[in-house]
Amino acid sequence: MRYPDFIEAKGVFPQFVHVRRETPDDHLRDVAAAVRQALDTVLPQSGIQAGHSVAVAVGSRGIDRLAEMVAALCAGLKDRGARPLIVPAMGSHGGATAEGQRAVLERLGVTEAACGAPVVADMAVAELGTALGEVPLYFGRDLREADHSICLNRVKPHSKFKAPVESGLLKMLCVGMGKHAGALAYHHWALRHGWYELLVAMGQAMAARSNFRFGVAVVENEADRVCHLEAVPVDRLVEREQSLLEMAKRRFPRLPFSRLDALIVGRIGKEISGAGMDPNVTGRAFDLKESDFSRIIDATRVAVLDLTEKTAGNAIGLGNADIITEAVFAKLDYEATLINALTSRSLHKAFIPVRLPNDAKAIQACLATIGPVDPLQARVAIIRDTRHVQDFWASEVLIDELEDLAGGHIGPPAPLAFDADGKLVVPDLG
């Protein structure tokens, strides 16, 4: 394919500096001990007794030390004579099939061998009535057939909306533990009732009508390490999630810029964000009734260079970019992406952006289409992905804005490097 002369003529890149931000190293050294302590606070009142089966709901997010925490949960339950089983709770992910969701957990290291409990995957659901008079409530059959159910999930800012409660235990109840049917119901009716309002209504109704006993909530720090873990009993879900979300927002990593000419995202994937790339970092969200994230950061052009291996072709979020590479397109499983988009009512996130053959051409196209801006003066940031923004590259023109960055280390300006195939070489970003 021949590319327009004006793009070739713009094949000059600014110099970049490597920026590394140091953050407090306050991650939990022993998450297994933290899980045991959390269980001690909720098990006595949970009704879980020796001989009872307990379904442990686990989602598709790439949470720090996920398998280790699930293993500790299962061990703690077995220590009290209970019989844990691990259940995928992830809505439409994994192609909305039991086999696909089992494979998602396996890619995250959550297996019977690693966690000491069988993995039971089933997409069938039971109906638990309605919320708000019309919204059907679904609960996984594999969860309901156990004597009790619990879940583990990260509390963090949501990728669709901003509210007192966003992504966490209540979302796991509505979307994950409701299986594909629950995810469809939530995303469908939220367009009438609102994301937050329906989240609370559905979550509270499902908690009251199911065998759900408690959730283990995790908060990660700026370096994506678990810094807080607690068990939240069923009657305190809304109250505790509000406090935990405030903690998560204070620790959420973001770029130190409000405006960019171009944001280059090294990779996107479901284990990084439910939106593939988090709009809390990119500022990009376009779908129905979604909050405006551009107030966080406004990037004129966004390019995506690759998909993660663990996303297994689910490229949801690529439609929020302007440009992708052929590497992204080649790895795209459009059926998995489409199922995710249709389920979440986020059609725009499955759109196919402009395709360029490699990283070099993609970045050239960004700089060539931002208007009358000298490429050497363009405001550009390059990140590994939206979970890792403590380490990034910034174009030389941004140095003045970085000088007062707390805990920041700025390297010397250097040109971008590409290999023989036009792939960006940025070893410091992994």
Give percent of the chain with pLDDT exceeding 90.
82
Tell me what the pLDDT averaged over the chain comes to. Answer: 92
What is the per-residue pLDDT for 319?
Answer: 95
pLDDT average, residue stretch 323-346: 94
Please check whether residues 225 and 94 belong to one and the same domain. Answer: yes
pLDDT average, residue stretch 311-336: 95
Q: Which long-range contacts (CB under 8 A, 24 or more apart) does 126-135 make?
A: 128/205, 128/206, 128/209, 128/210, 129/205, 129/209, 130/205, 131/198, 131/201, 131/202, 131/205, 131/206, 132/189, 132/193, 132/198, 132/201, 134/189, 135/185, 135/186, 135/189, 135/193, 135/198, 135/201, 135/202
- Flag whether pLDDT at 427 surpasses 90: no
Where is the domain boundary, 251, 279, 304? Answer: 251
Q: Are strands 212-220 and 226-233 parallel, antiparallel or unpaired?
A: antiparallel
Tell which wins on pLDDT, 390 or 135.
135
Backbone angles phi, psi at 263, to 5 degrees: -120, 120
pLDDT average, residue stretch 356-381: 95
Please check whether residues 185 and 297 belong to one and the same domain. Answer: no
Please check whether residues 57 and 17 belong to one and the same domain. Answer: no
pLDDT average, residue stretch 127-139: 96
Tell which wins on pLDDT, 117 or 390.
117
pLDDT average, residue stretch 147-161: 95
Please check whether residues 303 and 240 belong to one and the same domain. Answer: no
| Contact in structure between 380 and 396 (CB atoms under 8 Å) | no
What is the per-residue pLDDT for 5?
Answer: 58
What is the per-residue pLDDT for 416?
Answer: 93
Please check whether residues 281 and 406 belong to one and the same domain. Answer: yes
pLDDT tens, residue by residue, 261-287: 999 999 999 989 888 999 999 999 888
Please check whether residues 363 and 393 belong to one and the same domain. Answer: yes
Where is the domain boundary, 212, 234, 251? Answer: 251
pLDDT average, residue stretch 37-61: 95
**CATH number (domain holding residue 78):** 3.40.50.11440
- Flag whether pLDDT at 8 surpasses 90: no
pLDDT average, residue stretch 163-174: 94
Backbone angles phi, psi at 125, to 5 degrees: -135, 160
Please give the tally of structural domains in the chain. 2
Please check whether residues 229 and 342 belong to one and the same domain. Answer: no
- Give CA angle at 27 (25, 31), nearest 5°: 155
The alpha carbon of residue 213 and the mean position of all alpha carbons in its chain are separated, in whole angstroms, by 25
What is the per-residue pLDDT for 137?
Answer: 97
What is the per-residue pLDDT for 426?
Answer: 80
Please check whether residues 233 and 219 belong to one and the same domain. Answer: yes
Please check whether residues 80 and 198 belong to one and the same domain. Answer: yes
- Flag whether pLDDT at 388 surpasses 80: yes
What is the per-residue pLDDT for 295?
Answer: 87
Ranges 19-28, 73-82, 178-187, 312-321: which has the least confidence: 19-28
Please check whether residues 226 and 277 belong to one and the same domain. Answer: no
Please check whether residues 311 and 173 belong to one and the same domain. Answer: no
What is the per-residue pLDDT for 144?
Answer: 95
pLDDT average, residue stretch 344-352: 92
What is the per-residue pLDDT for 4?
Answer: 63
Cα–Cα distances in Å, from 332 out to 136, 196, 263, 276, 309? 33, 31, 21, 12, 11
What is the per-residue pLDDT for 7?
Answer: 57
d(CA 25, CA 29): 10
| Contact in structure between 54 and 212 (CB atoms under 8 Å) | no
At 218, the pLDDT band (50, 70, 90 cuts) reads very high
Domain that holds residue 146: 31-251
What is the per-residue pLDDT for 258?
Answer: 93
What is the per-residue pLDDT for 60?
Answer: 85
Tokens of 119: 């993995």
Please check whether residues 282 and 343 belong to one and the same domain. Answer: yes
Give percent of the chain with pLDDT exceeding 70.
96
- Give CA angle at 350 (347, 353), nearest 5°: 120
What is the per-residue pLDDT for 3?
Answer: 61
d(CA 40, CA 417): 53
pLDDT average, residue stretch 156-178: 93
Q: Which residues contact 316 (CB under 8 A, 6 or more apart)?
A: 270, 274, 275, 276, 337, 340, 341, 344, 346, 349, 350
d(CA 104, CA 121): 11
What is the per-residue pLDDT for 429?
Answer: 63
Where is the domain boundary, 230, 251, 272? Answer: 251
At 292, the pLDDT band (50, 70, 90 cuts) reads confident
What is the per-residue pLDDT for 297?
Answer: 93
- Flag whether pLDDT at 13 surpasses 80: yes
At 145, the pLDDT band (50, 70, 90 cuts) reads very high
